[in-house]
Structure 1
Amino acid sequence: MSQEELHAYLTLQHIPNLGDTSIKRLVHRFESPQNVLRQSKAVLLNIEGIGEYKLKEFFNKEHALEAEKELEFIEENKFEYSCYQDENYPDRLKHCIDGPILLFKRGKAAYNNPKILSIVGTRKVTTHAIDFIKKFIEDLAPLNPLIVSGFAYGVDIAAHRAALDHGLDTLAVVAHGLNQIYPKVHIKYEQAVENQGAFVTDFWSSDNFDRTNFLRRNRIIAGISEATVVIESAEKGGSLVTADIAHSYNRDVFAVPGRPGDSQSLGCNNLIKTQKAQLITSAADLIYLLNWQLDEVLKPVQKQLFVELTEEEKLIWRFLRDAGKEQLDLIALHCKMPTFKVVSLLLNMELKGVVRSLPGKQFELA
């Protein structure tokens, strides 16, 4: 994208009341942001969805001047930027009608990981949830997913930290410009995220943090990912908004259940009860439901002559030895174990190099 084009997009982005959806409609009609800015009011009013209200500030020259300042800031700090039409723009966000026209990034992580997972939840996280997050991401680590969250207190920062601890890329989607950090107490994680992941936003350097920015931030968290996982949430909260947005985008939403009556579990339990989220209790559940295949990412290793298996794993091994490849549900039926239990056992056996997963939720001995 040329500087002229970026400046035009920034100018359009700065115009109040216009919005990402309207800008996309105008650019589609006039083929470039520069051409949009050259149009007369009479011409623009003929575009569906563009009325007097949206054009109220359109011809104010201050927007171009402010865009010039932001362009200088981006170039001075060498931040990466991408337009919704660019190849380096997150692929899944391209399919979101209200996805940002511009994204700004500070850090090394790329958007091209095929396995992108958002993890969100309450700021008042319990130690039980933190332990769950650590184990959850540890078990996902062999698949090398990109972990996305909002860099906030509680579940967000726990997810980022667990990703960093296991060498995974992580995106911190923030509700302010890239020239600041919120909350300030998390500045101690700034360098690690920038070195191993990235900070992402569609806000400018002149946009100070405000709680009203969370909704705009949350649409990126929901839209950039293949799925969103909610881990602990009160009856109301930002993580539920993110889940609703992900649901509206037809993305997979998962929730970790809690005990009935627990205040920090009401949100997750309600998502499951209203069928806006699928219930998961482990990484194995997620891998099964998303049909992620471990053999796509695990490096070939020499088989061990002796592998330690639990009694339950031995039962599955003997069945697959005699039956050959078999579907998950039939393995559970013949081994007389719940399916969710078999999913977890098969994941452990796959990590040990004993079994391999096949398309159609089938498994066989490796």
Structure 2
Amino acid sequence: MKEEKLLSVLRLQKCKAIGDILAKKLIVTVGDVEQVFKEKAATLLKINGIGSHAVKHLLDKENIILAEQELANIKSNKIEYSYFLDDNYPLNLQNCIDSPILFFKDGKINFQNDKIISIVGTRNMSAYGREFCNNLIENLAVYNPIIVSGFAYGVDICAHKAAIKNNLQTIAVLAHGFNLIYPKVHKKYIHQVNENGGFITEFWHDEQPLRENFLKRNRIVAGISKATIVIESAEKGGSLVTADIANSYDKDVFAVPGRATDIYSKGCNSLIKKNRATLLTSSEDIVKMLNWDIKERVKKPIQKQLFVQLSIDEQKVHDYLQLKGKQSLDKIALSCKIPLYQLSSILLQMELKGITKPLPGKLFEIV
């Protein structure tokens, strides 16, 4: 990504009145992130959801200074990053409406593996929970999954260590910038995690581990994976928030049951009782639910209609999907420069003509 574009992304990310959902809407509507800061205020105000307060913050000159400082840090430390419209952005996360427009990464992360699971739970892990977590990951190792967690005390660090022990890639999602590590006692694991995966964060290099940052971090933990597993949890806690977010994304959620009298099993038992999670007793439950034990079947090609007449926009979408393969709605809109409200209708017409087909996660591809 060119420096000018990255600077614009950082400016938008720093704008307090613009969240990730609205930021994506701005980018897709005007056509490019750099164009967001070139548009006239009157034009921006016509975009649904953009008010005078948001426009005022977009034009805040202090954000330019702060973005330039962060850009300098990225360059000097050679920080890697992923932009939500780039090919190196993880697909699972890209399909989440509120995923970060930009996040930073460190280590040897490879998102090509589709078998990604998040493991979360209490910081006050019991011997029962630790044994279950270790056995679960050991038994899943044959499927070579990526293990995601939050690098916190208890279940998080247990999951990372078990992944490393079984030569699996593990990703730690941080609630702060790369200039520090929290908790400090986990510094001794940094090298091991980097050698077996790495760290990601949406927060700038000097961002502190504030309480609200952990809640924001949870949506990445839930969104980047295929399923979220809660090992142990009290009646309230961050892991239950992560489970709720995963449910909102229509992701699979698993919970390990425990005795009714155990404090750190109450959260899991409640998830199962309310049908907010699938009961998890062994690795086989995950393998069957996520279809890891089923080999991909060769599909018979679908005969396309011959000599189908396409409109100019339909042809544009067709050519783009034929070149790029399956793509998200936002990416198609941005690349083909077609407003979202028009694109939905175009894709429907193309589907009726047997040219495209929708996929889970608002993805589309040529038939």
Greater than 4 Å deviation, 4+ residue runs: none
Q: Corresponding residue for 2:147?
A: 147
Residue 178 of structure 2 contacts residue 206 of structure 2 at CA under 8 Å; is this kept in 1? no
How far the C-alpha of 1:295 sits from its partner, in A, is 6.8
Q: Corresponding residue for 1:88?
A: 88
Render the CA deviation track for 1:207-244: whole Å, top value 9, x for unaligned.
11111111110000000000000000000000000000
What is the RMSD computed on CA atoms of the aligned residues?
A: 1.1
Q: Corresponding residue for 2:188?
A: 188
How far the C-alpha of 1:56 sits from its partner, in A, is 3.2
Q: Corresponding residue for 1:342?
A: none
Q: Corresponding residue for 1:256?
A: 256
Distance (Å, rounded) in 2 between the aligned partners of 1:132 and 1:294: 25
Distance (Å, rounded) in 2 between the aligned partners of 1:54 and 1:238: 30
Residue 18 of structure 1 contacts residue 55 of structure 1 at CA under 8 Å; is this kept in 2? no
SS of the residue aligned with 2:57?
Answer: coil
- Please, which runs of 5 or more residues in structure 2 have no aligned partner? 297-367
How many equivalent residue pairs? 296
More divergent stretch after superposition (33-42 vs 246-255) = 33-42
Distance (Å, rounded) in 2 between the aligned partners of 1:255 and 1:54: 40
SS of the residue aligned with 1:233?
Answer: coil
Q: Please show how residues 1-366 of structure 1 align to structure 2 within 5 Å.
A: 1-293=1-293
Render the CA deviation track for 1:231-273: whole Å, top value 9, x for unaligned.
0000000000000000000000000000112110110001001
With the length of structure 2 as denominator, give the TM-score of the two structures.
0.79
Q: Corresponding residue for 1:317?
A: none
Distance (Å, rounded) in 2 between the aligned partners of 1:32 and 1:295: 40
Residue 139 of structure 1 contacts residue 283 of structure 1 at CA under 8 Å; is this kept in 2? yes
Residue 11 of structure 2 contacts residue 67 of structure 2 at CA under 8 Å; is this kept in 1? yes
Q: 1:197 to 1:294 in 2, by over 3 A?
A: farther
With the length of structure 1 as denominator, give the TM-score of the two structures.
0.79
SS of the residue aligned with 2:148?
Answer: strand
Render the CA deviation track for 1:259-318: whole Å, top value 9, x for unaligned.
11211011000100110100011111111111102878xxxxxxxxxxxxxxxxxxxxxx
Distance (Å, rounded) in 2 between the aligned partners of 1:295 and 1:248: 28
SS of the residue aligned with 1:56?
Answer: helix
Distance (Å, rounded) in 2 between the aligned partners of 1:56 and 1:275: 44
Distance (Å, rounded) in 1 between the aligned partners of 2:13 and 2:128: 42
SS of the residue aligned with 1:241?
Answer: helix
The one-letter code matched in structure 2 to 1:282 is: S
How far the C-alpha of 1:41 sits from its partner, in A, is 1.7
- Please, which runs of 5 or more residues in structure 1 have no aligned partner? 297-366
Residue 108 of structure 2 contacts residue 195 of structure 2 at CA under 8 Å; is this kept in 1? yes
Q: Corresponding residue for 1:351?
A: none
Distance (Å, rounded) in 2 between the aligned partners of 1:153 and 1:68: 34
Higher relative contact order, structure no. (Cα contacts within 8 Å, ≥ 6 residues apart): 2
Q: Corresponding residue for 2:339?
A: none
% identical aligned pairs = 53
